[in-house]
Amino acid sequence: MIRYARMEDVREIHSLLNSYAKQGLLLACSISSLYDRLRDFVVYVDRENVIMGVCALHITWENLAEIRSLAVREQHWGSGIGAKLVKQCLMEADMLGISSIFTLTYQPGFFRKLGFADIDKRDLPHKIWSDCINCSNFPDCDEEALMYNREM
């Protein structure tokens, strides 16, 4: 089941995201930043309400949002959880009237299968790079940028 993240989910989300951050696959995040952005997150939970995956839709600019912090527990890779979470975020963007959604990722093939297309990172507004200052690869980002454009 997919639902919006709740206050009691923050520590579990933090643990899941930071397990991938330690591998250099995601940007690390603090507990404080998760509380600040809790409304960005949706989670996929099992019958026991254990979080199997998480994803965020972060509004960055006029008519532009980012899919970020997508993480699925390793034992559930390939089960469709990640795709369902991204599709949920795309539906939310549609409800908000946002037609351009980008992602920065090390898994471009996954996003291409969902309708995202490669773009040049330099075409994104400078505002989106504020979180990147905390990345060990800044300013030499090696993630790939992809964009999903929805016709409104």
Q: What is the pLDDT of residues 48-72, one digit of tens each?
A: 999 999 999 999 988 999 999 999 9
Domains within the chain, CATH numbers bracketed: 2-149 (3.40.630.30)
Query: What is the DSSP secondary-structure string of 98-152?
Result: --EEEEEES-HHHHHHTT-EE--GGGS-GGGGGGGGGSTTTTS--PEEEEEE---
Residue 147's nearest CA partner among 107, 115, 109 is 115
pLDDT at 138: 54
pLDDT at 97: 95
Q: What is the mean pLDDT of the chain?
A: 90
Q: Evaluate whether 54 touches 16 at the Cβ level (below 8 Å).
A: yes
pLDDT at 130: 57
Q: Is the pLDDT of residue 28 over 80?
A: yes
pTM of the model: 0.89
